[in-house]
């Protein structure tokens, strides 16, 4: 099978008109055109591979970020649970101490004011600790909510990157299949001729570079 038979579009099948001359079949494609198309496919494959690698790297970083946020969220939830336990403990302590309020009033009117002050100090300290614990609880809840939102946003970004990665990978595979199809359509003789043509093009480019004088003036001896 020739290159032109594989790469040229197939004509419509119809009964020939006896009064018309069949159109001439297209000739073989020039080697320079085949080489240009091969180089084009290779460049596109390299570009698609670069996109794939870049997307893979970004996806890995995003996965690490999601894992980090998940860890922070888990620690925040543990702190939130501990804060709630602390508030409950203080509430129970204050409830148990509430039976001493009437005694506190009596002691305040009694001859021992110091004891009354000490009792009031204990109750006030418990109240302050409870208020501070509630504030910490509120802050921890807000932190947990923020962590959860960031984790969800990072996960959405990760899924978007995964879709981009799949598209880039499919693009790479498609480009590679195009190159393989083009190569498989060549006969051994055409492959050998194409290789020789590519080598001649490389040699011609090297000769042009040397003759341009970019390597320096010939015949100049090195200084001892």
Question: What is the per-residue pLDDT across 161-188, written as a single tens digit (0 to 9) for each?
Answer: 888 888 888 888 888 788 778 778 878 8
Within 10 angstroms of residue 115's Cβ, the number of other Cβ atoms is 14
| 136-153 confidence digits (pLDDT tens) | 878 888 888 888 888 888
Domain 31-184 has CATH 1.10.287.1490: yes
Per DSSP, helices labelled H in the chain are 3-7, 31-97, 101-108, 113-184, 188-211
Distance between CA 103 and CA 41 in Å, rounded? 93
Phi/psi for 30 (5° steps) reads -65, 150
Max intra-chain CA distance, the chain: 136
| 76-129 confidence digits (pLDDT tens) | 888 878 877 777 776 676 666 555 455 555 555 555 556 555 655 665 676 677
Determine the pLDDT at residue 124: 64
Distance between CA 176 and CA 170 in Å, rounded? 10
Distance between CA 37 and CA 43 in Å, rounded? 10
pLDDT greater at residue 6 or residue 190: 190
pLDDT greater at residue 17 or residue 151: 151
pTM of the model: 0.51
* C-alpha pair distances (Å), 142 with each of 6, 65, 79, 83: 66, 20, 12, 13
CB 172 within 8 A of CB 56: no
The proportion of the chain whose per-residue pLDDT surpasses 90, expressed as a percent, equals: 0
Q: Kindly report the average pLDDT of the chain as a whole number.
A: 70
Distance between CA 126 and CA 98 in Å, rounded? 11
Domain boundaries, the chain: 31-184
> What torsion do the CA atoms of 27, 33, 37, 40 make, to the nearest 10 degrees?
-160
């Amino acid at each position: 099978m020739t290159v032109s038979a594989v790469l040229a579009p197939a004509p419509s099948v119809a009964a020939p008109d006896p009064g018309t001359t069949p159109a001439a079949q297209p000739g073989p494609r020039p080697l320079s055109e085949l080489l240009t198309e091969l180089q084009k496919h290779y460049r596109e494959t390299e570009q698609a591979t670069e996109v794939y690698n870049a997307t893979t790297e970004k996806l890995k970083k995003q996965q690490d970020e999601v894992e980090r946020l998940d860890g922070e969220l888990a620690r925040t939830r543990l702190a939130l649970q501990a804060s709630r336990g602390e508030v409950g403990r203080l509430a129970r302590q204050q409830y148990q101490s509430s039976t001493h309020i009437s005694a506190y009033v009596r002691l305040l009117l009694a001859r021992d004011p110091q004891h009354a002050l000490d009792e009031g100090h204990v109750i006030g300290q418990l109240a302050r600790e409870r208020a501070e614990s509630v504030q910490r609880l509120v802050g921890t809840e807000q932190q947990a909510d923020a962590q959860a939102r960031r984790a969800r946003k990072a996960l959405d970004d990760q899924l978007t990157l995964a879709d981009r990665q799949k598209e880039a990978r499919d693009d790479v595979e498609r480009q590679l299949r195009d190159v393989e199809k083009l190569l498989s359509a060549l006969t051994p003789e055409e492959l050998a001729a194409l290789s020789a043509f590519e080598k001649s093009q490389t040699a011609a480019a090297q000769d042009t570079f040397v003759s341009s004088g970019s390597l320096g003036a010939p015949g100049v001896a090195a200084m001892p």
